[in-house]
A and B are shown apart, each in its own frame.
Chain A
Amino acid sequence: MTYLRFASTAPPEVRRRPLRVRPQGPPPRVPEPPGGDDWGDHHGDEDAFRPPLSNACLGMLVFLGAETMFFAGLIGTFLVFRVASEAWPPPAMPRLPVGVTGLNTLVLLASAYTMWQAQQAARRGLLRRLLHGLGLTALLGVTFLLVQGYEWMRLLGFGLTLASGVYGATFYTLIGCHALHVCGAVLWLLGVTLRAWRGRMALPSTGLTLCGMYWYYVVGLWPVLYTLVYLA
């Protein structure tokens, strides 16, 4: 386990964990009882039975499954109203800012790329690049939120509120839930960045991996919502 320091010059070698996969198929009828402290659980690298996905990554994937169902409920609601309505947006309701939000979509997509770059840097142990990537990602996330917030203020000014029928209600709950998720992801990312900046991040960092998974999820969800709510 290495701790990153500013002073250290970047070692060029790539840290790779040896790929150890749980033996497939049923164990032999008389298996060799593995010796020593062997539990296949969460306490360290000495396991012979390392599962293909670590506990943390699996737990995160499972959590994202639940998130997907949560958004599926909201998207389903939106589609029910969208498909049933004759005119969408309903007459006399403000139109959504398709162009600005389109540019904003690009901003969010770019943040996924910078996140990926940061993770690459972490894999190679390049602290400056890692911090650079994380900071840029957070900046792009905040930009996205600010533009969204500004557009919301304008829409509220045009009279589109939660109470303006299902058009307003679905817009604010669906897009608002996503914005809340971006908010949470940015806060988490800032936490991770701070830890890396203080040189407290051990590599390979589970926290960074999980934060990255969550970030990709939140970014990946947005084009779907943009297409459904703004374009369709």
Chain B
Amino acid sequence: MSEAGAAVHAEHEREGFVRHYIFSKDHKMIGRQFLFAGLVMLIVGGLLAMMIRWQLGWPETPLPITGLFSEEFWDGDSWLAQTLPYGTITSEFYNALFSMHATIMIFFVVVPIMVGAFGNFLVPIMIGARDMAFPTLNMLSFWTAVPAYILILLSFFVPGGAAAAGWTSYSPLAAVPDYLGVAGPWGVNLWCISLIILGFSSLMGSINYITTIVNMRAPGMTWFRLPLIVWAIFIVSILLLLAFPVLTAALGMLLFDRLFGTHFFLPEGGGDPLLWQHLFWFFGHPEVYILVLPAMGVTSEILPVFARKPIFGYRAMVYSMIAIAFLSWIVWGHHMFQSGMDPALGTAFTLTTMIIAVPSAIKTFNWLGTLWGGSIRFPTPMLFALGFVFLFTIGGLSGIFMASTPVDIFIHDTYYIVAHIHYVVAGIIFGIFAAIYYWFPKMFGRMLNETLGKIHFFLTFVFFNLTFFPMHFLGVGGHMRRIYNPLHYEFLEPLQGINVFISVMALCLGASQLFFLANFLWSLFFGRRASENPWQANTLEWTAPSPPPHGNFLTAPVVYRGPYEYSSPEVAEDWLPQTRRVEVASAGGHG
């Protein structure tokens, strides 16, 4: 391998810095680019969340940054002094905080890391291809996303601040610039433009993933020998492909309403505010599954490896993902029970929403079945994958409560909803961490530190639950989401103790991530060198060198079996790579 490694390095040096690291057409480098972009935004989004919690725990108390600057500074007209007068979070800035926290976490962290980073890194190599079907389009997809990133970050600095109409930007609040009560219209405008640009990036990505998976599988890699993460990315690409253009159309119309005096979403010109909600959630609910399916795929990859067992019900896993994808198109109305809807229609949406819980439950039980009787090992990726299963179960169950209209009328727009979305979407971050800990050796050729990783997991897991579980109580107590100062409401005063507790736990949760940051940065340069297959896993990426060279494989892989044949009776070892040909006539195999 060392000879090959040397050859690889020689090739990289020939490629030149710009070609190799910046305008790279190698799917693995583009995956790394998306990963770094997503992680930077994760830090930004996390800091926004910390500020939100500060304001809710200790309303209108100056942030501990006031002392850092002089009186003259705070009296001046710099951006910081204007946005945070004397370190205090204003109500306008608070609106921007929660709007941008959600936007950044959903569009600029989870999708780019899960689909952009891991989709790019894993899809070609796991199906045994040298690269994507359209490497140039792939590069373009990343470099189209970059302006979107820059615009959304710049929007904090325009007059009036960043978008402050919530990540859902309901009209008429978002459709009329004056309604937000801020000094300039460009926050929401840039929000729209940024997301439209991001839509083009995701379109290019989807085209690439779908074409690659359909056309470029290695010999013997049949559809039902695909690893489940590849299935997940395939289905997610189809959802992204079909859902995002609808959002693009809606965003265009919203922008027209704001800039050119149309009245799509404004009643005074014959428009319909509800139409925005329909269009947004028609995109928005598939988006939820766009976020969660890759995390499910990651979990399905990791559990068999560390339980040393085949995945339980491979085909059921595939079919349930397909079922989720289909059903996700007909459940959007459950976001709108309170918006004024024909009760009969509401009942239909209740029903479809409850039905979508079935395939989700199939997946959860299959994960449990995979663990059952396995010889389970607990390295950090496994811990995070199990953490995801736990959090997804809680988030999924609270979703069933909301699905029924009568319950939703009570908990709509309360912290119960906030608890639910964080158990699901922030739970997906557990899937992201699992993926990073699991594939880091393949991506960067070095191992992450296990001790730091375990500390990171346990602190994150404990503080995550202490942060988000009490939000259920707040919600049932009637605590509205998106309010600036809970102390403005007399009936919320008894709940303020919970708010303070949550804020302390959230700050601890944020601080725990420093272990990950330190581990990531240190291991990137000084971690133990990774072998080709450190986890003794079956899938194709582990037959390539770590990190794989441009072109991925030293010899073209041929696939003889499914991806999860662990503890197979056919061989002495407890793993059986997909490329390994066993001469004995086999009666094994699975699902």
Mask: chain B, 250-289; 1 = CB below 8 Å from A; 0 = not: 1011001000111110000111100100010000000000
Residue of A nearest to B553 (CB): A39
Q: How many residues of B contact A (CB 8 A)?
A: 50
* Contact between chains at B249 and A70 (CB < 8 Å): yes
* Contact between chains at A80 and B275 (CB < 8 Å): yes
Residue of A nearest to B276 (CB): A77
Q: Is A63 interfacial (CB 8 A cutoff)?
A: yes
Query: Smallest distance from the beta carbon of A40 to chain B beta carbons, Å?
Result: 6
- CB contact list, A155-182 vs B, under 8 A: 162-163, 165-170, 173
* Contact between chains at B218 and A40 (CB < 8 Å): yes
* Contact between chains at B207 and A63 (CB < 8 Å): yes
* Contact between chains at A162 and B260 (CB < 8 Å): yes
CA distance A30 to B585 in the complex (A): 9
CA distance A148 to B94 in the complex (A): 47
CA distance A84 to B214 in the complex (A): 42
CA distance A51 to B223 in the complex (A): 14
Query: Smallest distance from the beta carbon of A174 to chain B beta carbons, Å?
Result: 10
* Contact between chains at B217 and A40 (CB < 8 Å): yes
Mask: chain A, 11-48; 1 = CB below 8 Å from B; 0 = not: 00000000000000011011101100111111000000
CA distance A127 to B271 in the complex (A): 52
Query: Smallest distance from the beta carbon of B270 to chain A beta carbons, Å?
Result: 4
* Contact between chains at A63 and B203 (CB < 8 Å): yes
Query: Smallest distance from the beta carbon of A35 to chain B beta carbons, Å?
Result: 10
Residue of B nearest to A75 (CB): B249
CA distance A53 to B271 in the complex (A): 43
* Contact between chains at B219 and A59 (CB < 8 Å): no
Residue of A nearest to B272 (CB): A80
Q: Which residues in B have their C-beta under 8 angstroms from that of A169?
A: 253, 256, 262-264, 269, 271
* Contact between chains at A72 and B279 (CB < 8 Å): no
Q: Which residues in B have their C-beta under 8 angstroms from that of A62?
A: 206-207, 210-211, 241
Q: Which residues in B have their C-beta under 8 angstroms from that of A58?
A: 210-211, 214-215
Residue of A nearest to B225 (CB): A26
Residues of A at under 8 Å CB distance from B? Answer: 26-27, 29-31, 33-34, 37-42, 49, 51, 53-55, 58-59, 62-63, 65-67, 69-74, 76-77, 80-81, 84-85, 90, 162-163, 165-170, 173
Residues of B at under 8 Å CB distance from A? Answer: 129-131, 133-134, 137, 203, 206-208, 210-211, 214-220, 222, 224, 241-246, 248-250, 252-253, 256, 260-264, 269-272, 275, 279, 556, 558, 560, 581, 585-586
Taking A31-B220, A51-B214 as given, write out 5 further A-B residue pairs in contact, using a Cβ cutoff of 8 Å, ordered by the A residue number: A29-B586, A66-B241, A71-B249, A73-B250, A169-B263
